[in-house]
Structure 1
Amino acid sequence: MNNRLFVDFHVLQTVPPSCVNRDDTGRPKTAVYGGTTRARVSSQSWKHAIREYFTTHIPEFDLGKRTKRIVGLVADAIHELRADLDEEKTLKMAENALKNAGLKIKSADKGTDALFFISNEQVKALAELAVSGETGKKKYAEALKIHPSIDMVMFGRMVASDPSLNYDATVQVAHSISTHTVHTEYDYFTAVDDCSSEDNAGAGHLGTTEFNSATLYRYATINVSELKKFAGERTAEAVSDFARAFVQSMPTGKINAYANFTVPDDVYITVRRDQPINLCGAFERPVRSKAEGYVKGSESAFNDYTQKVYTNFAEAPAAAFGTGDGTATLIDTEPLSQVFDDLQTYLEKVLRSVQ
C-alpha cells in the first residue's frame, strides 16, 4: 500500500498598502520571478505568525518555545513542583539538568549559544527529573527527545552539537510572492508634537516609509505520513489546526500603520498520494493589471495552470477542498469553516489505513 500522504495548501490573498515583511533597510521584501519584481513575504515571517496563532488555538501541552533562555523555563517548572526552593537553587538545578541532557549552557541567565526549540512537555520532564534527584544522564537526554510538541515536529528542530536531538520538519512553507509585478511606493509622513508651543510651528518629526500592495500566492505542504509518526491519533486534528493557522494568520509587520487585516480570495487544499506540488508556475508570467484588478486574472492563471499540471505532469489529487470564486472551477466550494472540518474528517478516515 502507498503510505505517502501529503496535504498541499494554495491561497490567493490580496494585501492592501502595507509592509508585511521588511528587510534590514526597512523596505518591503521583494523577489525577481519571471523577470519582474514581485512582492515577497518570507516563509519565516508567516511561520512565526502561524506559531503565534497556535498559542491561542492549541493546548499549551502540545506546544513549545524556541529560545536561548531555556534555563529559566526549566527553573520555572521546578519552582512549580518545589515552591519552597529559592530562585538561585532552582536556576542551578535547571542548569545542571540541561547539562546532563547534553546541552552546552553558557550560564543560567544566557542559556544556549543558539536558539533551542523545546516542548513544554520536555521542560516538565526535565524539571521532574531534577526534583527527583535523578543523576543518570541517559534519562535527561531521553527527556529532550520524547514528547515533541506539534509545532516542533511541524517546523523541525536542528541542534548542531547533538544531531540525535534533531527533528526533521514535516511542514514546508514557501515564500509568498505577488502574482504580478509590484512597484514599491514611498509614504512621506509627519508627527505632531502635542506639547509644542503655538510659536513653534511645524512637525515634531518627519520621515518616509516604503510600502506596496499585492495579490499574493501562498503555498505550504505537510508530509502527513511523517507527522503521524509523532502525532499519532492527533494527526488529522493537527493538520486541520495548521490549515486554520496558515489560512487565517497574518504577519504583523507595520500592522499598526497599515491595518492590513485581510482574508483570502481563494483557498484550495489538496490531498496527494504522489508528491507535493507548488503551483507558483501559474504566475511565472506576471498577471497584467486590468480594470477589474489582479484577483480575477490571478484566479484564471491559477486554474489554467493547475489543469495543465494535472493533464501533463501529475495525477489529480486524491481529494480537494476549498472556497472562493476562482476555486469553484476546480471543485465544489463550501464555507471556509466547513473546509477545515471536512479536511479533518477525510484524513481521519484515510489515516486508519496508513501504518
Structure 2
Amino acid sequence: MPDARFLQIHSLHGYSAVLLNRDDSGLAKRITYGGEIRTRISSQCLKRHWRKADSEHALQQIDGATASIRSRETVTRRVIEPLEKDGVAPETIKAISTAFQTAVYGDKGDKRSNRQPLLLGEPEIVYLAEEAQKIARSHGGDAKAAEGAAAEWVKNSKTNLKELRNACAMPGGIAAALFGRMVTSDVEANIDAAVHVAHAFTVHAEESESDYFTVVDDLQQAEDDAGADHIGETELTSGLFYGYVVVDRGTLLDNLGGDTAVAGEVAARLVSLIATVSPGAKLGPTAPYGYANWMLVEAGDRQPRSLAEAFREPCKPATSTAAERAALYLERVDAAYETGEARRLMSLDGATMPGSVRLPSLNELAQWSGAVMRTGSA
C-alpha cells in the first residue's frame, strides 16, 4: 500500500443555463486551452463556496476546528465595539482602535478604506479582544496612558501573536489551515496552503448565449404603453466542468497541530463538499445546483498530476466521453511513470478508471478519503 502523502480529487460537474462565476464586466469567466475558449470557474470562487457551505458537511462543524473570519471589520466588530458596550471612554477607545487596527492591518489600517480583508482565526480574535480589554481596564480613565500602553502593545504584538500561534493548534482557524493565509504586514503570520485548488474549466469549447429579458409593470393599464418597463441582457453558459484538488497531508497536519483525527474529517468533508456544493451566482433566475457526475480520488506519495491534459483537445460534452478521455490519459501516464497511486471511483454512468476500485456512493468515497488522510496509508 502506498504512503498517502497526497490526496488528489478529480471531478466532473454538469450545469445548464447558468452564470457560475463572473468577471469584472459581468460575463462568465473564461480561459483559452488547447486553442479553444472554455468556460471557467476560478479556484477562489470554489474555495469560498466550500469554506462557507452550511450543510451536514460544513468544515466549521468539525469537532476541534476553530472558525475563521475574512474581513476588514474584524477588529472593529470583535475588539473595539465590545469596549464601547462596556462604556469605555471614547478617547481611550480611539487610542486602542488606532493601535490595534494598524497592528493587524498595517501602517494605514486605522482607515477602513486602506484595509484589505484579512483572514483571522477565532483564537487570534479572542486574544486581541482580551488584550484590548486589559488596556482599557488598566487605563480606561486616562486616554494618554491608554495610548502609551497601546503603543507599547503594538511594539510587542508580533512577538506575542507568534507565541500564541506556536501554542495554538489552529490559530488561523480551519479555513487558514486548509487554504492558507498571506499577511503582508507580518510574514510570520503566513500559513502555507494544504489544499491546492485548480481553476475548473469545461472539457469542451464554451457553450454561451446572451439571454434577453424584460421586466413588465404588474399595474400597467391596458391603455398604457404596452412595452416593457425594463429591458436587459445577461450571459448564460452550459458546460461539463473538470475540477482538480490536491491535499498535502504533511502540510495539513502541520496546520492542524498534528491532529490526525481532524485531518481525516477534513478530507472526508472536503470530498463531500466538492461533490455537492455548487459555486453559483444568480441563484433566483438560474437555480445553479448540481452534484458531481464522476469523482476519482487518488492517494500516493509521488508529485501530484492533473488530468487536465486529457481535455487539451476539446471533447464531446458528455460525462461518459470525458471519463473515457481521462481513463485513456491516465493509462498512458501509468505506463510511463508507474506512480502506483491507490484509487477509488464514484461514477453515475458506470465509468471505469485504470487501477481504481468503484465505490457505490459518495459517502463511501468520502470515508475512504478520510481514512487515508487519518492513517497516512492507502
Shift of 1:240: 1.8
Once the two structures are overlaid, the 10-residue window that deviates more, 124-133 or 32-41, is: 124-133
Relative to the length of structure 2, the TM-score reads 0.82
Does the CA-based 8 Å contact 1:121-1:148 persist in structure 2? yes
DSSP 3-state at the match of 1:195: coil
Deviation (angstroms), 1:47: 1.2
- CA deviation after TM superposition for structure 1 residue 195, in Å: 2.3
For 1:331, which of 332, 345, 357 is the aligned residue? 357
Matched residues in 2 for 1:101 and 1:187: separation? 45
Query: In the alignment, which residue of structure 1 is the partner of 2:192?
Result: 168
Contact in 1 for aligned 2:18/2:236 (Cα 8 Å): yes
Deviates most, 131-140 or 216-225? 131-140
Q: 1:120 aligns with which of 109, 119, 122?
A: 122
The offset of 1:24, in angstroms, is 1.7
Distance 2:37 2:212 in 1: 23
Question: Partner of 2:230 in structure 1?
Answer: 205
Give the TM-score normalised by structure 1: 0.86
Larger CA deviation: 49-58 vs 232-241: 49-58
The answer as to 2:174 corresponding to 1:150 is: yes
- Note the 1:1-355 alignment, pairs <5 A: 5-53=5-53, 57-59=58-60, 62-75=66-79, 78=82, 84-86=86-88, 88=90, 93=96, 95-99=98-102, 103-104=106-107, 106-107=109-110, 110=112, 113-133=115-135, 135=153, 136-137=156-157, 138-140=159-161, 142-143=163-164, 146=168, 147-200=171-224, 201-231=226-256, 232-233=258-259, 234-288=262-316, 294-325=318-349, 327-329=351-353, 330-350=356-376
How far does residue 295 in structure 1 lie from its aligned partner after superposition? 1.8
Call closer, same or farther: CA 1:52–1:174 in 2, change over 3 Å. same
Paired residue secondary structure (1:316)? coil
| Bigger radius of gyration | 2
Q: How large is the RMSD of aligned CA atoms in angstroms?
A: 2.8
**Which AA in structure 2 matches 1:67?**
S
1:217, distance to aligned residue in structure 2 (A): 0.5
Q: Distance in 2 between matches of 1:102 and 1:16?
A: 41
Three-state SS of the structure 2 residue aligned to 1:152 is helix
d(CA) in 1 for partners of 2:162, 2:299:
37
- 1:217-239, Cα deviation, whole Å (9 max, x unpaired): 11111111111012122211122
Q: Alpha carbons of 1:267 and 1:87: their partners in 2 closer, same or farther (altered >3 Å)?
A: farther
Call closer, same or farther: CA 1:15–1:76 in 2, change over 3 Å: farther
Q: Which runs of 5+ in 2 are unaligned?
A: 136-148
Residues of 2 paired with 1:4 and 1:241: CA distance?
17
Q: Distance in 1 between matches of 2:180 and 2:16?
A: 32
Measured at CA, do residues 76 and 338 of structure 1 come closer, stay the same or move farther in structure 2, by a change above 3 Å? farther
- Amino acid paired to 1:342: W
Distance 2:329 2:20 in 1: 28
Identity %, equivalent residues? 23
> Post-superposition shift, 1:102?
8.1
Seen in structure 2, the aligned counterparts of structure 1 residues 323 and 296 have a Cα distance that, compared at 3 Å, is: closer
Using the TM superposition, give the Cα deviation of residue 342 of structure 1 relative to its aligned residue in structure 2, in angstroms. 2.1
